[in-house]
Amino acid sequence: MNQTAHLFRVQKLDLELDHNHKRIQEINRILESDQTIQKARSRLQTAKFDVQKAHQKLREIEETARSVQTKMEISENKLYGGKIKNPKELQDIQNEIAALKRRLSNVEDEQLDAMVDLENNDQILKKAEANLSESQADFAQRSAGLLGEKGQLEKINDRLSTERAAAIGFLPDDSLQLYQSLRSKKNGRAMALIDDQCCGACGTSLRPAELQSAHTSKITFCPTCGRILYAG
């Protein structure tokens, strides 16, 4: 096998390695940042926060109700304790008790609304927990396939790397350096296969002298794109 044939073989292996590496990176991104699970976790966090707020609101209302109830009991004890004789003072206490009863009634309504709100938020939380579990199960199933694919690609890359190491062993250092330099400049394709007397990369028609040079396995460049020509 001549020098350009070895270079073309190396490029074929490199392109396959590039393709596999790109797919492995894509799989890693999928595994690390699954949007479905992230959204499910976000909804769960929101639901937990809403439940905490509902609990806090209910506790505050219950505390207010206890405070109002305590004030009512104190006022009623004053009213019926027999110690207060002044009619105006007694009337004031009765008015205060009536106001406290109205306040307690309103607080109890608020308490009922808060209990309903808490129950609704609890239901939303349970649904969010179930949704996350389902998303994780689905992701685990999809991940199994992705992890299997990734493992298979890594095995293929190990084989390709071994083949590449063997192929570059037939190349002089200067030719390999030239290939690597062109590869970095030409989007991974340092070589072009001649197709119907044209450069297979850019389509430029090649002159007889260029075709002859490429067929003799001498390193020949496409006059337009600068890639190494391979006659096949």
Residue 215 lies in a domain: yes
- Total number of domains in the chain: 2
- pLDDT given for residue 1 in this prediction: 57
CATH code for the domain of 100: 1.10.287.1700
- pLDDT given for residue 35 in this prediction: 83
- pLDDT given for residue 37 in this prediction: 85
What are the 10-residue block averages of pLDDT along the chain, 232 residues in total? 88 97 92 83 95 96 95 89 84 92 95 96 96 88 89 96 94 94 95 95 95 90 96 88
- pLDDT given for residue 78 in this prediction: 85
Expressed as residue numbers, the domain containing 183 is 173-230
- pLDDT given for residue 136 in this prediction: 85
Tokens of 152: 């298979």
- Same domain, yes or no: 85 and 138: yes
Cα–Cα distance, 21 to 113 (Å, whole number): 58
Cα–Cα distance, 129 to 124 (Å, whole number): 9
CA neighbor of 230 nearest in space, from 196, 189, 199: 199
- pLDDT given for residue 31 in this prediction: 82
